[in-house]
Amino acid sequence: MSFYIRDLQSYDEMLQIHRLQREIWGFDDPTWGLYPPMLKTAALNGGVVLGAFAEKTDEMVGFLFGFIGRDEQGRFKLCSQNMGILKDWRQYGIAEALKWTQRTRTLAQDLTLVTWTYDPLEGPNARLNLHKLRAISRSYIRDLYGTDFGTLNAGLPSDRLLVEWWLAGPRVEQRLPTDASGAEPVFQIEGQGVERRVVDVKLDSERETLLVETLPDVHPVKTADLVLALEWRLKLREVFEHYFARGYLATDFISAVSDGERRNQYVLQKSRPKLVAEIGLS
């Protein structure tokens, strides 16, 4: 299905974003979601507010919103606060197209960093952020929005990875690949399907590159066994916090089918001068 992307300016378009957000995340309370007057103000004052539209009907099927903020050193950046795509439109590359358009708009303002957060249990988001966009993460945030953040997120602490997208670095500009050869797995996994679980964790590795396995799809596991889904949440929390504190960066996400079952794995690499230069960290 064909779509196009354009900048949003009108108040009616901001109301459409609010309606889309409630539908996508299953918010029961009509007051939840992005505040349309705030979106309008942001769009007129340096923020990036983009919409994706069905080419045949001009219906808005996705959106991306970001506002200008500062990092810990006081440098200006774009905070990419929210992106959503209607379920029937999620297999057509809209999310990636929205993000590359956001990159263009951000660079035009002489900003070179975009940050946002996502649930590390959401494999499609991880693949987009770390693999397709070539962003990185080195910060883990516990329970950012509480345990009742919409229907999709209900039941688990809303832990998030903070994504850093260094727009002008060679890693992004040249789409540099990640070398995961010789990587050491951190988790020992047993079981199949929704019963897969972590039975051992390696927290003393000194290897340059590590692999951290996660679920193929968290939602069937939540439906079948919420306690097991929580175990996965807490194991990932433990590993990310531990290795980030030791100077590792999450630099890629590998998703492949092996023996008829999808395996999702984060790639963690030690922060070395060559890697820092490729990313464009400053």
Mean pLDDT of the 160-165 span: 98
Residue the block writes with tokens 């108040």: 11
At residue 116, does pLDDT exceed 60? Answer: yes
pLDDT at res. 48: 98
How confident is the prediction for the chain on average, in pLDDT? 94
pLDDT at res. 52: 98
At residue 49, does pLDDT exceed 90? Answer: yes
At residue 157, does pLDDT exceed 80? Answer: yes
pLDDT at res. 28: 77
pLDDT at res. 150: 56
Higher per-residue confidence, 150 vs 116: 116
Enter the pTM of the model.
Answer: 0.94
CB atoms within 10 A of CB 105: 19
Query: In this structure, what token pair is assigned to residue 32?
Result: 């939840």
The pLDDT tens digits for 63-99 are 999 999 999 899 999 999 999 999 999 999 999 999 9
d(CA 176, CA 170): 7
d(CA 52, CA 274): 37
Taken in order 241, 247, 253, 256, the sign of the CA dihedral is: negative
Contacts of 45 (CB under 8 A, 6+ apart): none
Mean pLDDT of the 33-50 span: 95
Indicate the pLDDT class of residue 113, thresholds 50, 70 and 90: very high
The pLDDT tens digits for 237-259 are 999 999 999 999 999 999 999 88
pLDDT at res. 148: 65
Of the candidates 104, 28, 30, 31, which has an alpha carbon nearest to the alpha carbon of residue 66?
A: 104
The pLDDT tens digits for 223-241 are 999 999 999 999 999 999 9
pLDDT at res. 17: 96
The pLDDT tens digits for 125-148 are 999 999 999 999 999 999 998 766
Mean pLDDT of the 156-175 span: 96
pLDDT at res. 31: 79
At residue 149, does pLDDT exceed 70? Answer: no
The pLDDT > 70 percentage for the chain reads 97
**The total number of residues written for the chain in this structure:** 282
At residue 151, does pLDDT exceed 80? Answer: no
pLDDT at res. 161: 98
pLDDT at res. 260: 84
Of the candidates 172, 169, 177, 254, which has an alpha carbon nearest to the alpha carbon of residue 210?
A: 254
Q: Is the distance from CB of 48 to CB of 39 less than 8 angstroms?
A: no
pLDDT at res. 152: 56
